[in-house]
Structure 1
Amino acid sequence: MIRQMTEGDVKAALVIEHELFGDETWTENMLLGELADQPRTRHYVVLEEDGEIIGYAGLSAAGGEADVQTIGVRTAHQGRGLGKALLTELLEEAERRGCTAVFLEVRADNTTAQGLYERFGFERIGLRRGYYQPSGMDAVVMRRGKLS
């Protein structure tokens, strides 16, 4: 079940952050800051299964454009289409908000995520060198135009 993320879900989201992103995780204050702007310019959701949060995702939207801020699914639950479900939710929210384009950054070495985004119509439009810190990994910038 996908539902709106609340402050009470931040600890569970941080567990997923650390599992997936290691030293490059968001902090508790960063996540709380994102939630503080919900629903005005943010849309954050969690994915629950059997009472456990196993995924989460966030969108920033303003001025007719949106940015996928984050998507994460616990490693043990990957490969089941859950990332697809979370991305679908974010894109539907961007459409509800009247956005005409959605952007995102993805690690250059995360070919699995890049493939998912490409299947959803995202195209590579640039590269941000050394974007992810402290690893210095590059980020591929992707854009999806027409949403409907």
Structure 2
Amino acid sequence: MRVRRAIDGDLQALIDLETRSFATDRISPRQWRWHLESDSARVLVALHERRLVGACVMFFRKGSDLARLYSMAVAAELRGQRVGEQLLEAAEAAAQRSGCRRLRLEVRDGNAAAQRLYERNGYQRIARLPAYYADGEDGWRYEKTLSRAGAG
């Protein structure tokens, strides 16, 4: 498994993964193009045997120490095999390299597997988000304070 920054050539695989992973609240092809080219967004992809099997999108705001993990998707056949964990570790490292000390994200109330992943990796629930998603499902906001470079 390898995680790297996404490139333009990943666009169709990103769209395909998004379509297979989410029934609603999908990132559109136009948004993917924008995220790939934006200075305020970072798209990371996980590759297994040269096949894109996971992706995450992060947002940064100039002058802020807070990064946002906007979306993460893992191919169904590889869930439970640390793909999400590796993407999360890479996202945290990218946030730190960008000068961020905190990483925040939202997760669906019904996505217990993702909640366990985040909690296992030190994220704390900080807010309940009633009817947060387009289909009306509630969400949870999580945040983690990232360790400083060279710290434990």
Structure-1-length-normalised TM-score: 0.91
Conservation of the 8 A alpha-carbon contact between 1:91 and 1:147:
no
Conservation of the 8 A alpha-carbon contact between 2:45 and 2:56:
yes
CA distance in 2, matches of 1:125, 1:119: 15
- Structure 1 unmatched runs, 5+: none
Aligned positions of 1:88-127 closer than 5 A: 88-127=89-128
Q: The residue matched to 2:11 in structure 1 has which SS?
A: helix
Post-superposition shift, 1:140?
0.4
Match of 1:12 in 2: 13
RMSD across aligned C-alpha pairs, in angstroms?
1.3
Post-superposition shift, 1:102?
0.9
Match of 2:133 in 1: 132
Match of 2:47 in 1: 48
The Cα offsets for residues 82-114 of structure 1, whole Å up to 9 and x where unpaired, read as 100000000011111121211100011101101
CA distance in 2, matches of 1:147, 1:109: 29
Post-superposition shift, 1:34?
1.4
For these two proteins, the number of residue pairs brought into alignment is 145
Aligned positions of 1:56-95 closer than 5 A: 56-62=55-61, 63-95=64-96
Conservation of the 8 A alpha-carbon contact between 1:103 and 1:141:
yes
Amino acid aligned to 1:44? V
Q: The residue matched to 2:100 in structure 1 has which SS?
A: coil
Post-superposition shift, 1:129?
1.6
If each structure's strand is expressed as a fraction of its own residues, which one has the higher value?
1
Conservation of the 8 A alpha-carbon contact between 2:92 and 2:146:
no
Q: The residue matched to 1:130 in structure 2 has which SS?
A: coil
Amino acid aligned to 1:70? S
Conservation of the 8 A alpha-carbon contact between 1:122 and 1:142:
yes
Task: Return structure 1 stretches of 4+ with deviation > 2 angstroms.
Answer: none
State, as a whole percentage, how many aligned pairs show the same letter: 26
Post-superposition shift, 1:22?
1.3
Amino acid aligned to 1:58? V
